[in-house]
Amino acid sequence: MAKESTYCLSSDEIKSIIENAPTFRDRVIIEVFSRTGIRRAELRNLKIENVDFEKNHIYIKEGKGAKPRTVPIDNLTIMDIKQLLGNRKQGYVFTSAKSYPGPLSLKQINEIVCKCAKRAGVNHPNPGRNKINPHLFRHSFVRNALKAGMPLQYVQQIVGHSSIKTTIDVYGTPSQIDIEEEYKKKIQEMI
């Protein structure tokens, strides 16, 4: 069985999930996951004061292992965050109606991601999994960034791996989709 990190969503699947989000907040959540590779807990803990709207980056105050980092973010997503916030200047970026002004729970984030994917008709690329989870967007971000030619060292810094060895160990093997695409190309030469 392939490692979980060899599975990822295609750019088209991610776009479809974003387009099928039932609310603007949910859409922005999927955009942030898919365009930054941040972890679920990092999204939950993201505060407005840690979003730099001038420099287009977010500051992860306490990532895994209590390590801070700065993550670049595209202009479209930063504008959507700004629109989502409206006049709010402090507090959590993604709040819960149940605990306002508190953050969404990890469970709520899982449910949002799963609901958006289901509405888009996108299934987990691993046939052994039935639900799409936030971490799949992290895997997809890394795989798609590397496929697009982003240097490994840059990806490592963005996703917050303390060592490039971690990035290589986790993402050094080809993705299942890449294997299947290459197979389809080469099988014609082989038969």
Predicted confidence at residue 90, as pLDDT, reads: 94
Burial grade of 175 (CB within 10 A; 0-12, 13-18, 19 or more): buried
Domain boundaries defined on the chain: 4-190
Class of domain 4-190: mainly alpha
- Residue that wins the pLDDT comparison between 31 and 7: 31
Examine the pLDDT at 2 and tell me if it is beyond 70: no
Query: What local confidence, expressed as pLDDT, does residue 97 receive?
Result: 82
Whether 17 shows a pLDDT value over 60: the answer reads yes
CB atoms under 10 Å from CB of 56, counted, come to 14
Res 1: pLDDT = 45
User: What was the pLDDT predicted at 51?
Assistant: 97
**For 45-54, what is the mean pLDDT?**
96
108-148 pLDDT, tens digit per residue, is 999 999 999 999 999 999 888 989 999 999 989 998 888 88
Written as one letter, the residue type at 169 is D
Q: What is the pLDDT, as a whole number, of residue 5? A: 64
CB 28 within 8 A of CB 80: yes
> Which pLDDT score, from 0 to 100, does residue 72 have?
95
Give me the chain's average pLDDT, please.
Answer: 90
Phi-psi region of 65 (alpha: psi -120 to 50; beta: other; left: phi over 0): left
Section 60-76 average pLDDT: 88
The residue behind tokens 């039932």 is 22
- Map residue 89 onto helix, strand or coil: coil
pLDDT given at position 130? 87
Query: Residues 49-76: what's their mean pLDDT?
Result: 91
Is residue 84 packed enough to be buried (19+ CB in 10 Å), middle (13-18) or exposed (0-12)? Answer: middle
146-178 pLDDT, tens digit each: 888 888 888 888 998 888 887 777 777 777 777
Residue keyed to tokens 């980092």: 69
d(CA 108, CA 127) in angstroms, rounded, equals 24
Cβ neighbourhood burial of 110 (10 Å; 0-12, 13-18, 19+)? middle
Sorted by sequence, the CB contacts under 8 Å of residue 66 that are 6+ apart come out as: none
Whether the CB-CB separation of 13 and 183 falls below 8 Å is answered with: no
Whether pLDDT at 46 is above 50: yes
**For residues 8 and 21, which has the higher predicted lDDT (pLDDT)?**
21
How would DSSP label each residue in 24-87? Answer: HHHHHHHHHHHHH---HHHHHT-BGGGEETTTTEEEESS-GGG--EEEE--HHHHHHHHHHHTT
pLDDT at site 112: 97
